[in-house]
Chains A and B, each alone.
Chain A
Amino acid sequence: MSKKFKVVNNKTHSVDGHAEMMGRAVYTQDYEAPGSLVLKMLRSPHPFARIKNIDTSKAESLNGVKCVLTYKNVPHVAFSRAGQGAPQPSPIDKFILDEYVRFVGDEVAVVAAINEKIAEDALKLIQVEYEVLEPVLDYKTAYKNKSVIHPESGISQAFEMGFRPKDNVAASYEMEVGNVEKELEKCDVVIEHTAETQAQAHAMLEPHCSNARLDEHNRLVIYTSTQTPFHIRRIMAQTLGMPLSQIRIVKPRVGGGFGGKQQFHCEMFVALVTLRTGLPSKMVYTREEVFASSYTRHPMCITMKIGADKDGTIKAIDCHALSDTGAYGEHALTVFMIVGSKVLPLYNKVNAVRFGGRVLYTNHVPAGAYRGYGAIQGNYVLESAIDILAEKLHMDPVELRKKNSMKEKETSPIFEIMGEGTKGTAMIMESCKLPYCIERGAELIDWKNKYPRKEVGPHKVRSVGCAIAMQGSGIPFSDMGSCAITLQDGGFYMVRCGATDIGQGSDTLISQIVAEELMTTVDKIVIYSSDTDLAPFDVGAYASSTTYISGNAAWKTAIKMRERLISEAATMLGVKENTVEFDGKKFVSGEKEISLFDLSNKLIYSAPQHQVAVTESYIGHVSPPPFMAAYAEVEVDTETGEYEVIEYVSVVDCGTTINPMLAKGQVEGGIVQGFGMASKEAVLYNKNGQMLSNSFLYYHVPTTKDIHKLTTEFADSYEPTGPFGAKSVGEIGIDTPPAVICNAIYNAVGVRINSLPITPEKILKAMKEKENR
């Protein structure tokens, strides 16, 4: 199916890489207005408390303090910081500032001062009297706990999502296809597996930051490090009761997001301070705040029951999950549903499948959007369970996966039932090279010779493990992206799009898509994105939507531009449109021709003197999943439980790779972030609910020394609904490492670690327990 391309699917450097490495002022903090007030936040020392009294008078009278915000002087309007579309599929359960504080690090008061030192001094002068409440620090005890984390009025859900704050339930969900209980009874083999996943920190390098000013029209302009400029504008306008027209959100270069910048952080506070004082303001989270006062991945406990026939045909899957959303319900329902909807369809030949459970409030740092978005949690447990099943069936786990997994032109009833918060969309897999990915990955890792294990030293064992995964490409009938192209005199194109480049390279690949269609090169494209004043709407960078949704919008717009150019050239040459050939540089009709350069200049300066501009939008009608198979070879030290990943093989079907190097970067970056979650990263609290892992010194992300060999390949695949055949690739990479490493460790030393991260201590302990049994 492969097609030949000139720009797309070819090596193209990032459009911004040079400027960034050369140190140009391109990130949010580099755009602070001179004289900006510095904002600092007073944060709760208690996991759960009510503010009985708050006295800010001393802080306010400190010379240099311009403004102090507390729950008493900001609008009392509930909203969700989640940064999603409308209607918001997360509970509306947060106030800008509140009389309740629900985790250590929750927001109490904001000080704006002329410099950082005064702001920090002023924080110490705020006197707060707390009524300390009994916290809930274990989500397994949260349901109907006598401590109710959201007792307040004024909170709501935009539609029925099982939101029951009196029971500490942020959301719940149940679905069933067929009759799971009955099917399981009929199966020859049934296995049950329960495992837990931990909270993971995004740990993007650029901290959360925003700055605000009033512009020459007295409009509020906010530069912010965000993945969702348009959602920020809409939700801010609603919450502050301002006309949308009075707000401009500008997203400069962003130093990493991974879901961590889909939501609100500093935006509302700089807005309020600047509106109140008329002065520019800025807020930058400290690294401790990034860890302890933003949000994490949802910790979960998931049980999979799988039934199969003796021949290895999987007949039924029953999945039950509990999720910890922490203090606020941001992405509570939608992340939860992905545990089912982007994991269970992998094994689509079942007669019955069931999924359900609850998302509970606790007094931990809130959980929110994070790359993988439920799929990594579900994948860890399902793909471990598949290996357990394979062992029980005496089958090679690779063979079991090949036999039961999704194939091209197939579907799963889950697609129609489960969407993101609402009903889903039925779809057939028009592109699914999963069988090839499984086959090719096994070849690359040399599964035949390495499975199950090999002794390589007196106390060293090597083994291999595998897993498969899927994700989606945007949210059908919800995610919309737009693009506008104008032909400039001089014969180049100005592209404005809403797609939000957060480092993943969307500006580069949108430029490639437009260049491909207009048969030109990327250097003839000038791209501006994600400024709500200048760019057309796009939902932003989340849900693996950018390549597919925003890419399709750019492609549609470029096609329209090409048609428009041919029509303009035909008029100018005095010929019929269908006689004009365009090669990207000139228009030819028989003997007559005109260059794009001349056409563009004539259009502006002689006749007909008009700007050629086109705009288009795209909304997905399906969400074609990217697929992958992953394999790892690990070496385990049986004396210490320590292990190293010798090689990690990924074979990915994401359709056409618009930018092969950036696509590889997405996969490998995801693998290593997933490897961090699998092996070492953990958000830890003490018994008082205080986060211990609030620094890079205590929260260890992978370094260059942890990574030995990553082998990444792409399947030859073409998605007919994608731009030039592309699907998404931003999240799929992160899904497999927990399961792959868990399976490889099991194959090596015979112990299965049922909680993440898989540490040497846990391995050694499990090995000792096994010996003693």
Chain B
Amino acid sequence: MKLRFYLNNVEVEYEIQPDEYLAQVLRRNGVLSIRIGCDESACGSCTVLVDDKPVLSCGLLAAKVEGKHVTTVEGIQEEANRLADYFGDEGADQCSFCSVGFALIVHALRKEYKNPTDEQIKDYIVGNICRCTGYQSQFKAIKAYLKEAK
């Protein structure tokens, strides 16, 4: 079947199978920024935004984004570049397989909260697993970024 949606504000049309998930469809079409960590909607690495809301693309049937706006990290390059500075400052970038997911979840967090509390930040990013850093450096980096990028 044909699937039409907006990928980073550009209309695209992909040929898909009805039972395919968005993560696979995007990767198959060259969007290699999608990192599939678990393929069972449990780790957060494959986060994308669908109509500005964070969604795990490995658990979303591709057909569901028909006509919608999908944002991947390619759509927020400048922001990801800046967030990477803050991650670098805190040494929060190790294997970075989770980093793209963090860039997108932080983008959504910024849109949803003006001045999030520590608890709100943690609640928001709790589904994004990182096995390398122990989270504290990431948390500090995200906090500093949110403060200065207001």
Contacts and interface: CB of A to CB of B under 8 A. Distances in A.
A665 B33 contact: no
Interface string A21-40: 11111010110000000000
Interface stretch (B38-46, B62-70, B108-116): B38-46
Interface residues of A, number: 57
Nearest to A291: B38
A409 interface: no
Contact of A205 (B37, B81, B138): B37
Contacts of A22: 33, 73, 77, 80-81, 84, 100, 103
B97 interface: yes
Interface residues of A: mostly helix, strand, loop or mixed?
loop
A256 B97 contact: yes
Interface in B120-150: 122-123, 125-139
B interface, size bucket: 35 or more
Interface in A149-178: none
Given A17-B93, A22-B77, A665 B131 contact: no
A143 to B, nearest CB: 35
A23 B80 contact: yes
Given A14-B88, A24-B33, A253 B96 contact: yes
Interface residues of B: mostly helix, strand, loop or mixed?
loop
B12 interface: no
Given A13-B89, A18-B81, A27 B97 contact: yes
A21 B35 contact: no
Interface in B2-18: none
B46 to A, nearest CB: 10
Contact of A503 (B35, B38, B39, B96): B96
A262 B95 CA distance: 15
B102 interface: yes
A704 B42 contact: no
A21 B42 contact: no
Contacts of A662: 91, 94
A742 interface: no
Contacts of A18: 81, 84-85, 88
A654 to B, nearest CB: 14
A672 to B, nearest CB: 4
A624 interface: no
A502 B90 CA distance: 19
B83 interface: yes
B97 A287 contact: no
A14 B96 CA distance: 10
Contacts of A661: 88-91, 137
Interface of A: 11, 13-14, 16-18, 20-25, 27, 29-30, 202-207, 253-258, 286-287, 502-505, 659-665, 668-673, 695-697, 701-705, 707, 709-710
> Which 8 residue pairs across A and B have the least CB separation, nearest first?
A503-B95, A23-B33, A661-B91, A255-B97, A13-B88, A17-B93, A20-B96, A672-B134
